[in-house]
Amino acid sequence: MAEQSLGSDKKSKKASFSFFGKGGFLGLFTSRPVENDPNTLNLNKNTAKRPILSIDVDNPSQKSSPTFSKGLALDNNAPQPKPSVSPEYPLNEVLVLGEEYKMVVKIVNKKIPTCSPPNASSFVPSLKNAMHENTPTIIKQEIFSMYDKGIKAKEWHEITPENVGVHIAKRLHCNIMVDALCGFGGNTIQVSSSFSMIF
């Protein structure tokens, strides 16, 4: 029945198994950034560490006791260092391709850029933020660009952000789409704005 050959190497993930239909397409989009993603967390660490370093260079007398509050005060005056990498959503796109009853899974690693500026301290709509209901407005504007015009939503960590929705709409050329679990409509709005036909 089902053949399964999943290599141990993470770089070459290929699995072949029989499938229940004819040639189908299965796209898998992982939209939410991982908590320990180096692109996200290192940004915060760098901006937190650099002002303390600047104290040491400017005033060597304070080198013995650089407190955290002084570091924050100098941070406002000093020009903020621009990180080279802007924040991005990781995207693992899984394509199920092939002929009848023989399918090959290909996993493609891509990245989608975010709307937020590279200096934004916390842009990740993470599960922790949503559980404590302290989702910052930067994240809300990242998910819905028209957030200021009165968007109603809860549970922000489950809504598809706009850039990911635009990517999904480009990727899936279709006329009729069924959104089984639409939620607050993050995905629905972006995909339907690309439709020309009215269903």
Name which of residues 56 to 85 contact other proteins (CB under 8 A): none
Q: How far is the CB of 138 from other proteins (least distance, A)?
A: 18
Residue nearer to other proteins on the CB measure, 63 or 171:
171
Q: Note whether 2 binds other proteins by CB under 8 A.
A: yes
Alpha carbons 92 and 105: distance in angstroms, whole number? 12
Alpha carbons 170 and 191: distance in angstroms, whole number? 8
Out of 33, 87, 114, 142, name the contact with other proteins by CB under 8 A.
Answer: 33
Q: Note whether 182 binds other proteins by CB under 8 A.
A: yes
Task: Count Cβ atoms below 10 Å from residue 192 Cβ, excluding itself.
Answer: 15
Out of 30, 59, 67, 119, name the contact with other proteins by CB under 8 A.
Answer: 30
Residues 132-161, interacting with other proteins (CB under 8 A) = 144, 146, 149-153, 155, 157-158, 160
Out of 35, 56, 58, 100, name the contact with other proteins by CB under 8 A.
Answer: 35
Alpha carbons 88 and 76: distance in angstroms, whole number? 26
Task: Count Cβ atoms below 10 Å from residue 179 Cβ, excluding itself.
Answer: 11
Residue nearer to other proteins on the CB measure, 71 or 98:
98
Q: Note whether 88 binds other proteins by CB under 8 A.
A: no
- Count interface residues toward other proteins (CB under 8 A): 72
Residues 91-120, interacting with other proteins (CB under 8 A) = 92, 94, 105, 107
Alpha carbons 142 and 60: distance in angstroms, whole number? 41
CB 139 within 8 A of CB 148: no
Q: How far is the CA of 1 from the CAs of 4, 5, 13, 62, 192, in angstroms?
A: 10, 13, 20, 71, 39
Out of 116, 126, 135, 163, name the contact with other proteins by CB under 8 A.
Answer: 126
